[in-house]
Structure 1
């Protein structure tokens, strides 16, 4: 078996594998054209036949993320998943990264087994939340919420984040639809400049509200903290921002602290019935902390 960089001519072979994953629903087709245009999408080839795929993404310089290991339906049970993951790890280590991480649901026993066998260690356990809402509800006009702008407001909001229980228990990771980023001040400032960070007028609280990677109609409460009054207003804002979308999609969130879990549950989000926990694994590099 050879693991090589994917090329545009591999597109049909990749899609054939993805159609037999997760009972016909797989996010790989959503990203295939983007992934083919950038580096990091690999195909496993045996006898000129594509038998598997995997993806390595550089979230920031030296911050590597593994996802989307897939094996052709007719090739499963032969240890190919382990072999693909092993070679992917070897290739990643050769680039001398700062970190290598991946995430998986607690029910994905195969992924957990492969990760542990390769030496990955459990970094954080997140609870997964969902909310299906009531589409068509107009956004309230009386909420004193602003899009975070300006160096002073960003600095004040960043202090709220750094002092929060969620920031520390999450090992300083920011979730975004099953990817977990190093939550740095640089990343926070960029998200604020892009319009994804909200606050009350007095900057008493901060909300990072991202678009779901799989659907632009879905919102994700990536971070929410502050005074009780501010959190209450920001929670209503997030809910109304979601509900004004005339769609059947949903809002989701990941939480590790009891504080964030309580906030999410108070404004109507519920723990997923299908996924108990989301595990973030990290490979123990010398700088592992």
Structure 2
């Protein structure tokens, strides 16, 4: 199918910004993602045809919709209204068409599209034989998009936040020399702010933290020092001692966190001290909660 021209056929859909076509664009990106996931030549072709640049540009469009908030929603409503008028004025053959997407559904598909775009970007940066900068010609846009997602994590949700964090981590692991570019864009700082100000109550958002801290610590100058200076390990204290995160810590989340933290402290030995302090603080907090419950029960 790759040789049949599927990839160049699907790429132009990335530039279709009609809100009513979000589901179609999202499906197309999923197909491109599948090609890259199972075929290394497909990933190379995706990059060669400018697919990575177009994907980053489209991510910027979608992130801007969320960043601009109500203004963009008003524009979408206007477009939807015009589309509805157009459908109403057409022949009766269109009467049986499915209803146009409502605003909540448009928002839902927009979020699905952002997830697909982030996964495609992550796969696209791993094209074999790639010696170019991982961002393509849109290198200024990608850090900017990720930074906005981190700064407005609650607006984007845990799934998008997690994938954005994974992209940042992948970029650093793929090319550690790109850290100064990301740092200049304020990306590491935005991520640390996001987790220190209160991690989203999402299993995805929580489990991505260790691997991202690990990636930041690869840069032993600014990255590691920023993690230590912000005492980023303390973000887990609230996660493990607050009732708010109980649902997010179900299923495999604790074991995933355990593995991630173990790997982080093995790779960044200077974080072992803060890591142990964090664990002691968590245990002390849990102990106090337990004593409080016992006191209430006895009374």
Q: Which has the higher strand share?
A: 1
Structure with the larger helix share: 2
Task: Name which structure has the greater RCO, CA cutoff 8 Å, separation 6+.
Answer: 1
Specify if TM > 0.5. Answer: no
Output the TM-score relative to the length of structure 1: 0.32
Considering only CA atoms, is the larger Rg found in Structure 1 or Structure 2?
A: 2
TM-score (norm 2): 0.31
